[in-house]
Amino acid sequence: MRPAETKAPVEPDPPAGFRMDHGLPLGRHPILTVFPGLDKLPPGRTIHPDAKVRRRLFADTYVELVDADMWMYVAPWEVPAIARGRWRPVVTPGTDCIVVGHGHFRESLPLIVYLDIYHELCHILQRHGGANLFEPGLSYVERPTEVEAYRFVVVESRRLGVSDEFVREYLRVEWITKREHLQLLKTLDVPPPPKKR
């Protein structure tokens, strides 16, 4: 998940093959209908070493476009304990679905949407491996699932030549403190912001 707005500096576009079908209505759609060719781009070919697993990931995952001020998250199969009383997620028992805010899908920088969707696909693979995506007792920046998913997209951003400034802003999410943000940067080997003189 990521917050509803970003102040990230302008960066290059994602690879030329990254496409989004902005004409789709709200509701649930196969991921390759929403993001045609996502499986053919470099991260789609490296997200898992087994081609059969990758094919199943892209064949069986859905995107649900919702009219909400949010970025994206993997829909839980049941309401997680940490959500009760503070968040009402879309729940999709037994179905892999990434919930995407319609405003984010239509208005955010394509590079951010590109990184976000692969981040969430990492989470689906983690869940298939038995991970708890909403593990209680750990801060957001300490969850192994978040660190692994962010590491995957940071590596991709480096491959694309994205600046440290952009990556720092991308990793600045509204539900973590400044200290936690610095901790996440350190964990992911992203240089901290330059000190003000």
Ordered per-residue pLDDT tens for the chain, 197 residues: 544 344 545 567 799 899 999 999 999 999 999 999 999 999 999 999 999 999 999 999 999 999 988 889 999 998 887 777 777 888 999 999 999 999 999 999 999 999 999 999 999 999 999 999 988 778 878 889 999 999 999 999 999 999 999 999 999 888 788 998 888 999 999 988 887 76
Instruction: Indicate whether 15 belongs to any domain.
Output: no
User: For the chain, how many structural domains are there in total?
Assistant: 1
49 within domain boundaries: yes
What phi and psi, each to the nearest 5 degrees, are found at residue 29? -140, 150
- Dihedral in degrees, nearest 10, Cα atoms 87, 93, 97, 98: 10
pLDDT for the residue 2: 47
The pLDDT assigned to 126 comes to: 97
- Do the domain assignments include residue 2? no
Residue 3 counted as domain residue: no
Residue 39 is predicted with a pLDDT of 97
With a CB cutoff of 8 Å and minimum separation 6, the contacts of 181 are 141, 171, 172, 173
- Please report whether residue 154 resides in a domain: yes
Question: Tell me, what's the pLDDT at 3?
Answer: 43
Residue 176 in any domain: the answer is: yes
Q: Which range marks the domain in which residue 59 is found?
A: 27-187
* CA neighbours closer than 13 Å in the CB half-sphere of residue 140: 18
Q: Is residue 104 part of a domain?
A: yes
Q: What pTM was computed for the model?
A: 0.90
In a domain, 16, yes or no: no
